[in-house]
Amino acid sequence: MGIVSPGFRGRPRESGPELPPGQYLTRDFPVLSAGPTPRVPLDQWEFTITTETGQAHRWSWADLMALPGDTPTVDIHCVTKWSKLGTNWQGVPLDMLMADVTTDADYALVQSYGGYTTNLPLQDLRDGQAWIAYRFEGEDLAPEHGGPARLLVPHLYFWKSAKWVRGIQLMLEDEPGFWESAGYHNYGDPWREQRYQGD
């Protein structure tokens, strides 16, 4: 057999190059949860960006809804090895929320209702790479998927896309979040298969 035949159409889509190493394609949307699902009434919901000097920038639900939303279509990759391609979201880009925030911070610790945290470089929240997402496939984001709003930062493993997002603490020093302090990779790039510490 030749190495390459001209009519060869490659492997089926399920194992094609659009998936990062070690991932498989799923069509459903598995619910992963490390604790009870928080129920936050919208009139009490608040999102806060706090700088390294303690200056807080706050948005109510009404404030968030008043901002123009993006409708990104993105691939998502869970560290438990499932990937979903072409998912449709609606949310406010972090760039818009960060526009009036003055900071020298290089790191961000994302905090959720229910106590979950995850860390990432602040740079990864900028330049159209991250959103506060509140709709998924045309529906309000369901509580089990992080509603009313979750972080969406699809170029990293999905544990970084914190469900039930409540705020972002900007920091001069990095600080590991919930999974990053229990064996998972500090950065979590799916294309470099950075699942665990040392990968």
- Shortest Å distance, C-beta 147 to other proteins: 13
Interacting residues toward other proteins by CB under 8 A: 30-37, 39, 79-80, 115, 143-144, 159, 179, 181-184, 195-196
- What is the three-class DSSP state of 14? helix
Q: Which residue, 50 or 161, has its beta carbon nearer to other proteins?
A: 161
Q: Which residue, 41 or 68, has its beta carbon nearer to other proteins?
A: 41
Q: Which residue, 79 or 94, has its beta carbon nearer to other proteins?
A: 79
Q: Which residue, 50 or 111, has its beta carbon nearer to other proteins?
A: 111
- What is the three-class DSSP state of 54? coil
What's the CA gap between 75 and 57, in Å, rounded? 30
- Shortest Å distance, C-beta 170 to other proteins: 25
Q: Which residue, 13 or 39, has its beta carbon nearer to other proteins?
A: 39
- Shortest Å distance, C-beta 13 to other proteins: 26
- Shortest Å distance, C-beta 93 to other proteins: 27
Could you tell me which residues come within 8 angstroms of residue 45 by beta carbon, excluding any fewer than 6 positions away?
Answer: 60, 61, 148, 149
Where do the H-state alpha helices sit in the chain? 61-66, 94-98
Kindly tell me the sign of the dihedral angle through the C-alpha atoms of 181, 156, 195, 31: positive
**C-beta separation of 149 from 103 below 8 A:** no
- Shortest Å distance, C-beta 79 to other proteins: 5
- What is the three-class DSSP state of 27? coil
Could you tell me which residues come within 8 angstroms of residue 33 by beta carbon, excluding any fewer than 6 positions away?
Answer: 144, 163
